């Protein structure tokens, strides 16, 4: 009987000439029952799941056909069906369907957890006071912690040796202790991407729920907007004496807002001129929620030079539009991590795209110039500088970020051939 009906289509059932066959009637009855159960689904979830399995396995219907005939969402039908399949009849006693459904979703979404659905459900049962989102976030963090520990151990192996020198070296330090040690007029390009100060999730702020549970690193040494400003302002006084003739300081700032007056005033006071205010179009929306009228998909890039000097064209020699289109490396990465295509913790939320950094380095410096990255984090600036044949200095105060960034730099040094000219 099962074989005869494997190829049946719903359309055939409904339109076949003559009256319905006995089998046709059975299926119609089952679908009717299913529709009835779906209306009272809370108490009948397991039964719905069983019925779906029966219709699929014994009566040759597809999920789409069941959904169409029962006039119900295919996704929901699939939830009932798969949950009932994963948790067989002997594994249901004492557990709610919702616990089992969440366990199934965690099991399928986070294969790298290496836990069985039953183990996951046993943990979920103890979190009944939490929302489904909170439960999922717990498992993501569990996985992140495990994988980060692994990747930190790997990073330690890659830490550069002989960190005594200043140039082409990673410094685990506050930039305020390293920059004064650089020779006067030695730096051609400072690339400064200080924290913007959005540590906690606040609707509309930088850390959306998805990034919070998305598996990306979010460590940062400065939490509030005031902290971030305090970390930014000293740059101007410290960096000017180290700036080579014709050198430039690039400062990333939050997009979609007016440039901070405190920053512009301090720069001017210390003898800098803000020559350009560029917009980096990230190509994806990173902040904002549906309450705000604008969702921010850009950052500002302020280009400073010494007062009285001019920002010259760099090695690539071509003027470009003041809107820079470079998509972020971080968009969609949470999904890749969730699907196991990328390791948790192998990307930092604040990580800039390597294409953007290579553009900025080649636009504002020449081979053998010195590029300094006071807020080094993932090391992308130093890696771009090395790749383009510049000398570099990487500074990062946060220990986790330092291990991550310096590890990446060491790997890049091992694997990349320097491109000069
Ligand atoms: C916005 S992130 C930089 C991201 C970086 N551009 C990248 O692409 O990976 C800012 C970094 O600066 C670090 N930081 C904050 N204050 C610092 C300080 N005074 N000295 C050195 N690093 C600092 C933070 O820990 C954080 O890793």
CATH number at residue 344: 3.40.50.150
212 or 294, which is more confident? 294
Which residue's CA is the nearest one to ligand 1's atom 6? 193
Phi, psi (deg, nearest 5) at residue 263: -70, -45
- Burial label for 53, CB within 10 Å (0-12, 13-18, 19+), is middle
How far, in Å, from the CA of 220 to the mean position of ligand 1? 7
Distance CA 305, CA 291 (A): 39
Region label for 314, one of left (φ > 0), alpha (ψ between -120 and 50) or beta (otherwise): beta
The whole domain housing 189 covers 159-420
Residue 147 lies in a domain: no
Distance CA 350, CA 222 (A): 13
Determine the pLDDT at residue 295.
78
Range with lowest mean pLDDT among 140-154, 268-282, 296-310: 140-154
Determine the pLDDT at residue 9.
44
Instruction: At 179, list the tokens.
Output: 């920059």
Which residue's CA is the nearest one to ligand 1's atom 13? 375
Does 243 score more than 90 pLDDT? yes
How far, in Å, from the CA of 84 to the mean position of ligand 1? 48
- Burial label for 173, CB within 10 Å (0-12, 13-18, 19+), is middle
How many C-beta atoms surround the C-beta of residue 113 within 10 A?
17
Identify which of 217, 221, 379, 404 to mutate to test ligand 1's pocket (most ligand atoms within 8 A of the CB): 221
* pLDDT bracket for residue 43 (50, 70, 90): low
Residue 298 lies in a domain: yes
Range with lowest mean pLDDT among 53-62, 72-81, 174-183, 265-274: 72-81
User: What is the distance of C-alpha 189 from the center of its chain?
Assistant: 28
Does 419 score more than 60 pLDDT? no
How far, in Å, from the CA of 232 to the mean position of ligand 1? 10
Domain boundary among 45, 66, 86: 86
User: What is the distance of C-alpha 179 from the center of its chain?
Assistant: 31
Does 234 score more than 50 pLDDT? yes
Determine the pLDDT at residue 6.
41
Residue 126 lies in a domain: no
How far, in Å, from the CA of 138 to the mean position of ligand 1? 27
Residues 386, 300, single domain; the answer is yes
E strands in 267-374: 272-281, 298-306, 323-325, 370-373
Residues 212, 306, single domain; the answer is yes
Residue 287 lies in a domain: yes
Residues 266, 393, single domain; the answer is yes
Residues 265, 167, single domain; the answer is yes
pTM of the predicted structure, to 2 decimals: 0.67
Does 266 score more than 80 pLDDT? yes
DSSP letter (8 states) at residue 172? E
Domain boundary among 63, 86, 109: 86
Determine the pLDDT at residue 337.
74
Residues 71, 175, single domain; the answer is no
* pLDDT bracket for residue 14 (50, 70, 90): very low
Residues 276, 413, single domain; the answer is yes
Residue 359 lies in a domain: yes
Determine the pLDDT at residue 152.
63
How far, in Å, from the CA of 376 to the mean position of ligand 1? 5
Calculate the dihedral angle through the C-alpha atoms of 139, 140, 145, 147, rounding to the nearest 10 degrees.
110
Residue 236 lies in a domain: yes
Residues 184, 297, single domain; the answer is yes
Ligand 1 atom closest to Cα of 350? Answer: 4
- Residue in 203, 212, 210 with CA at minimum distance from that of residue 288: 203
Residues 290, 393, single domain; the answer is yes
Which residue's CA is the nearest one to ligand 1's atom 15? 221
Domain boundary among 51, 86, 121: 86
Calculate mean pLDDT across residues 322-329: 91
Ligand 1 atom closest to Cα of 175? Answer: 20
Residues 51, 167, single domain; the answer is no
How many C-beta atoms surround the C-beta of residue 259 within 10 A?
14
Residue 172 lies in a domain: yes
Residue 131 lies in a domain: no
User: What is the distance of C-alpha 158 from the center of its chain?
Assistant: 24
Residue whose tokens read 């990747």: 151
How far, in Å, from the CA of 412 to the mean position of ligand 1? 20
Residues 51, 180, single domain; the answer is no
Does 233 score more than 90 pLDDT? yes
Pocket of ligand 1 (CB under 6 A): 174-175, 193-195, 220-222, 231, 348, 350-352, 374-375, 377-378, 380, 395-398, 401
The answer to whether the beta carbons of residues 220 and 375 sit under 8 Å apart is: no
Distance CA 104, CA 108 (A): 6
Residues 378, 293, single domain; the answer is yes
How many C-beta atoms surround the C-beta of residue 218 within 10 A?
16
How far, in Å, from the CA of 199 to the mean position of ligand 1? 13
**How many domains in the chain?**
2
Calculate mean pLDDT across residues 166-192: 95
Q: What percent of the chain has pLDDT over 70?
A: 81
* pLDDT bracket for residue 151 (50, 70, 90): low
Determine the pLDDT at residue 418.
42
Residues 82, 164, single domain; the answer is no
Calculate mean pLDDT across residues 113-140: 88
């Amino acid at each position: 009987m099962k074989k005869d009906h494997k190829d049946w289509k719903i359309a055939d059932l409904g339109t076949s000439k003559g009256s319905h066959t006995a089998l046709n009637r059975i299926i119609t009855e089952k679908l009717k029952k299913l529709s009835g159960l779906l209306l009272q689904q809370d108490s009948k979830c397991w039964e719905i799941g069983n019925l779906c399995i029966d219709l699929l396995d014994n009566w040759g219907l597809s999920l789409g056909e069941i959904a169409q005939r029962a006039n119900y969402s295919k996704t929901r039908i699939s939830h009932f069906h798969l949950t009932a399949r994963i948790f067989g009849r002997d594994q249901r006693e004492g557990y709610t369907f919702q616990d089992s459904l969440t366990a199934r979703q965690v099991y399928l979404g986070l294969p790298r957890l290496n836990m069985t659905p039953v183990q996951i459900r046993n943990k979920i049962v103890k979190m009944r006071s939490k929302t489904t989102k909170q439960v999922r976030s717990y498992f993501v963090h569990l996985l992140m912690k495990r994988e980060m520990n692994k990747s930190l151990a790997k990073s330690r192996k890659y830490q550069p040796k002989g960190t005594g020198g200043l140039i082409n070296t990673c410094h685990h330090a506050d930039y305020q202790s390293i920059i004064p040690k650089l020779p006067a007029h030695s730096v051609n390009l400072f690339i400064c991407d200080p924290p913007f100060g959005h540590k906690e999730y606040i609707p509309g702020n930088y850390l959306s729920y998805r990034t919070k549970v998305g598996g990306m690193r979010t460590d940062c040494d400065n939490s509030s907007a005031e902290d971030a400003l305090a970390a930014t302002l000293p740059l101007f006084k410290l960096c000017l004496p180290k700036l080579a003739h014709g050198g430039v300081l690039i400062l990333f700032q939050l997009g979609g807002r007016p440039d901070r007056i405190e920053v512009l005033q301090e720069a001017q006071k210390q003898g800098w001129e803000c020559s350009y205010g560029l917009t980096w179009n990230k190509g994806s929306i990173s902040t904002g929620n549906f309450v705000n009228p604008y969702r921010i998909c850009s950052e500002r890039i302020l280009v400073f030079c010494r007062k009285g000097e001019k920002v010259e064209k760099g090695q690539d020699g071509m003027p470009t539009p003041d809107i820079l289109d470079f998509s972020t490396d971080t968009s969609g990465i949470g999904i890749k991590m969730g699907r196991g295509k990328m390791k948790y913790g192998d990307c930092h939320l604040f990580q800039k795209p390597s294409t953007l950094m290579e553009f900025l380095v080649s636009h504002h410096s020449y081979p053998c110039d010195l590029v300094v990255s006071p807020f080094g984090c993932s090391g992308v600036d130093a890696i771009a500088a090395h790749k383009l044949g510049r000398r570099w200095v990487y500074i990062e105060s946060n220990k986790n970020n330092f291990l991550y960034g310096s590890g990446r730099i060491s790997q890049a040094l091992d694997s990349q051939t320097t491109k000069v000219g």
